Structure 1
Amino acid sequence: MLELLLALWPLFALIVAGYYLRRLDFPNEAFWPGAERLNYFILFPALLFSSLATAPLDNPALPRLALAVMLGLGLAWLALLLLRRLRGWRAARFGAFTQGALRFNTYLGLAAVASLFGQEGLTLAALMLALMVPTVNVLSVWSLTAERGVSARGLLLPILKNPLILACLGGALVNLGGLGLPGGSDRLLSLLAAASLPLGLLCVGAALKPEQLGGEIPALAGNSLLRLLAMPLLAWAVARGLQLPTMESTVLLLFFALPTAPTAYVLTRQLGGDSQLMAGLITLQTLLAAATLPLLLTLLAA
């Protein structure tokens, strides 16, 4: 437990620092949107691209890991559809609940994996993200537009334009083509990647909105329990059922135990979902994850 806390507390310290820096208006309000864009479109894709470009894609464990990821997401999606039918959620609300349950804070996840397992863990996480990011994005868009319908173009376009997905595809193609990262490009990408995780965590803290926690306490608490407790228990069961090795099980569990993604708020607003509920879910889950993440990893990953 102590070793895990030593690995994770600096990550949450950066989140807290980002929260207070923005409240103190430092460096200024205009800095944070630009920092988020820089990280989302340049720095973070560099990390994913370089990790996949050099990953051992012939690893025989990859099909089993892919099965674990898709099985876990598939079971969670079926449970959400059942809840929607039972509770009669409209698309605006269902979309927020879906993202609260299925989406994950990629910045925090990769920073945690890097602290726990180093480059080997980052490579494994990048391979998982290549599967999880497009799948979760499709389900998120569909859930927000379920009542009015959405064309195949409307469903796929946000995914094809997603820089994280493009970086994963580009890195995999470079890897499969045997091109490598010649001429110092590996060093350039590693410098960009090194800046992505601390800046991403600061931006996560800057995006927190505690003022959004005033209403809908039962909804916020229920969805947070689903994301921070039920999802990691599901991942643990899947990992045990498929007999995944220790590191793969831990990384799978970690990504299913992460709080939802701050970018879910943007998608919810763009597609007419309940953005106030989404902001509350992002804030509450991120705050609670400081306690639940080390506890669950200690109990379930042992």
Structure 2
Amino acid sequence: MTDLLLALWPLFALIVGGYVLSRRGFPNEAFWPGAERLNYFILFPALLFNSLATVPLDNPQLPRMALAVLLGLGIAWLALLLVRRLRGWPAARFGAFSQGILRFNTYLGLAAVGSLFGQPGLTLAALMLALMVPTVNVLSVWSLTAERGVSVRSLLLPIIRNPLILACLAGALVNLSGLGLPGGSGRLLSLLAAASLPLGLLCVGAALKPEQLSGEVPALAWNSLLRLLLMPLLALAVAYGLQLPSMESTVLVLFFALPTAPTAYVLTRQLGGDANLMAGIITLQHLLAAASLVGVLLLLERLL
């Protein structure tokens, strides 16, 4: 218990710090969008690239990990489609609900995995992201645009341009080529990577919108409970079924237990979804995740 708290509380302290700084107007209102773009397009890709460029990629569990990710996301997606058919949600609401359940806060996930497992865990998480990020992005765009039709180009173009996916692919290719990171480039990437997660967590806090919690409380509550409790249980069942080892199972369950991605708000607003509902889901999930993540990891300690 103590080890878990020591690993997790600094991460949530950074989120709270970002929220407080943003509400106090420090350094200024224009800083946070710029900081988020810097992190998304440069610092975070540097972390992913560095995590995959030089480490061994011969983990024999990777095929089963990939299958576990696709099974978990696939089961959740089919359940969402069934509930949408029963409830008759329009795409604007369905897009917000589905992102609340399928998407995940990448910054928080990598920071937690790094605190718990160090570089081996980060490498495994980066490989998972190379599969999870494109899958979840396609499902998110489809859920928001299904009523008015969606082309293959509109689904694939955001993936092809996604800097996180490009960084994972580039890192894996450099690794497989055997070139390594010569001439101090590895040190440069390490410095950029070191700034990514703290800045990312501060930006997560700055993006929270507590004023949106006064709206649809039942909808916010059930969506958050499904994401923070049912999704990790689903991942745990999949991990047991595929007999994944302890670290792989923990990383899988952890990513399925994360609160949804703050960037879901931007996508929802751009594609005409219910942005207020999405903002409320993001905020409530992050408020509850401080307790739910500890509970999920304690359960894993007893079971694995």
Fold match by TM threshold 0.5: yes
Shift of 1:57: 2.1
Q: Secondary structure at the match of 1:145?
A: helix
Q: Tell me if the contact between 1:14 and 1:202 (Cα under 8 Å) persists in the aligned partners.
A: yes
Distance in 1, Cα, partners of 2:241 & 2:116: 24
Q: Structure 2: which 5+ residue stretches go unaligned?
A: none
1:12 aligns with 2:16: no
Distance in 2, Cα, partners of 1:106 & 1:246: 21
Distance in 2, Cα, partners of 1:29 & 1:99: 27
Q: Tell me if the contact between 1:227 and 1:259 (Cα under 8 Å) persists in the aligned partners.
A: yes
How do 1:124-163 and structure 2 match up within 5 A? Answer: 124-163=124-163
CA separation of 1:89 and 1:122: change in aligned 2, threshold 3 A: same
Q: Deviations over 1:156-189 (max 9, x none)?
A: 0111111111111111111122221111111100
Match of 2:34 in 1: 34
Q: Tell me if the contact between 1:50 and 1:186 (Cα under 8 Å) persists in the aligned partners.
A: yes
Match of 2:55 in 1: 55
Distance in 2, Cα, partners of 1:124 & 1:2: 25
Shift of 1:301: 4.2
Match of 1:256 in 2: 256
Distance in 2, Cα, partners of 1:230 & 1:300: 14
Match of 2:290 in 1: 290
Distance in 1, Cα, partners of 2:301 & 2:43: 30
Q: Tell me if the contact between 1:253 and 1:301 (Cα under 8 Å) persists in the aligned partners.
A: no
Distance in 2, Cα, partners of 1:218 & 1:160: 37
Match of 1:268 in 2: 268
TM-score (norm: length of structure 2): 0.98
Q: Secondary structure at the match of 1:3?
A: helix
Match of 2:96 in 1: 96
Q: Deviations over 1:183-238 (max 9, x none)?
A: 11111001000000000000000001000001111110011011001100000101
Q: Tell me if the contact between 1:174 and 1:180 (Cα under 8 Å) persists in the aligned partners.
A: yes
List structure 1 segments (4+ residues) > 3 angstroms apart after TM superposition.
none
Tell me the percent identity: 85
**CA RMSD between the two structures:** 0.8
Q: Secondary structure at the match of 2:215?
A: coil
TM-score (norm: length of structure 1): 0.99
Match of 2:213 in 1: 213
How do 1:218-229 and structure 2 match up within 5 A? Answer: 218-229=218-229
Shift of 1:52: 1.3
Distance in 2, Cα, partners of 1:40 & 1:292: 26
Shift of 1:55: 3.2
Q: Structure 1: which 5+ residue stretches go unaligned?
A: none
